[in-house]
Structures are given as structure tokens and as C-alpha cells.
């Protein structure tokens, strides 16, 4: 299954958002 650059960038963007959210929870939790 071949991904377009736009789709890859979108998944990376989602991953970064989730990772940032987890870091925030650990920092202020």
C-alpha cells in the first residue's frame, strides 16, 4: 500500500500531537 506525502505528513502530525499530549500529562500530572 503506497502512501502519498500528504497522507504521511498527516499521520506524522497526529502522532506528534498525541506525543505532546502525553508529555504534557506527565509533566503536569
Distance CA 9, CA 7 (A): 5
- For cell 498525541, what's the residue? 18
**Per-residue pLDDT at 2:** 74
Q: Tens digit of pLDDT for each residue in 1-29?
A: 676 888 899 999 999 999 999 999 999 98
What is the pLDDT, as a whole number, of residue 10? 95
Quote the CA–CA distance of 21 and 25 in Å, as a whole number: 6
The per-residue pLDDT for 1 is: 61
DSSP 1-29: -PPPHHHHHHHHHHHHHHHHHHHHHHHH-
pLDDT of residue 11: 95
Task: Report which of 25, 7, 4 is spatially closest to residue 15, judged by C-alpha positions.
Answer: 7
What pLDDT is recorded for position 6?
86
Amino acid at each position: 500500500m503506497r502512501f502519498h506525502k500528504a497522507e504521511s505528513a498527516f499521520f506524522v502530525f497526529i502522532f506528534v500531537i498525541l506525543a505532546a499530549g502525553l508529555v504534557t500529562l506527565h509533566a503536569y500530572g
